Chains A and B, each alone.
Chain A
């Protein structure tokens, strides 16, 4: 079983729809959870950063973590064509991975298209 599973999509929705993106993971040591947005031919940019279980909201974006189910979600409300991108989840444990670095484990990304 892979450490982080993420449906690659593609996911196509009409403008204004609510989008739900999800990742599951197997490592119960993961404590910190992130969502990155990556436009085509660009580097990923950090969207949301959360610790442990619960919800975090930032504008149209809501990140949700359910550690008991090992499941994280990113919700996008009132989706816009500019939200069309690949969304990657990432996570890490609270401890060092060795040599002084906290290492992230990434999902493979879900490609989202928002149709005008």
Chain B
């Protein structure tokens, strides 16, 4: 069966520090991968999606970037965090994008 792993679960980082969040999927190949941010009162915001290795589409220009170095690995990064980067970050996958997505357990990021 397919599983999605996301870590860390909680992260407190100072302003200006770098960020790296990792997501991996097991039990499937060539999945569509997604990074979302969920902020109170704003719902789920799609940040990046990827349909294959090295293929990244950005939905919201901002302080973040994403990479897909391996088929089942998706990384969210920042060189310098801002206070506004605080939120609940969710990774998700789907076989082709046409199905409902399966979400990871999320990372709660607090920038102080």
Contacts and interface: CB of A to CB of B under 8 A. Distances in A.
B101 A41 contact: no
Interface stretch (B12-20, B43-51, B63-71, B72-80): B43-51
A41 B106 CA distance: 8
Which secondary structure characterizes the binding site on chain B? strand
Contacts of A41: 88, 106, 108
Given A90-B100, A101-B97, A108 B41 contact: yes
A100 B57 CA distance: 10
Contacts of B44: 44, 88, 106
Contacts of B103: 36, 43-45
Nearest to A90: B100
Interface residues of A, number: 24
A101 B97 CA distance: 6
Interface in A5-62: 8, 32, 34, 36, 41-46, 49
Contact of B43 (A32, A102, A107): A107
B100 A103 contact: no
Contacts of B101: 46, 104
Given A32-B98, A43-B105, A45-B103, 19 more contacts: A36-B103, A41-B106, A42-B105, A43-B90, A43-B92, A43-B103, A44-B90, A44-B103, A46-B100, A49-B99, A88-B44, A99-B51, A99-B55, A99-B57, A100-B51, A101-B32, A101-B49, A101-B97, A103-B46
9 contacts: A43-B90, A43-B92, A43-B105, A46-B100, A88-B44, A99-B49, A99-B57, A100-B51, A103-B97
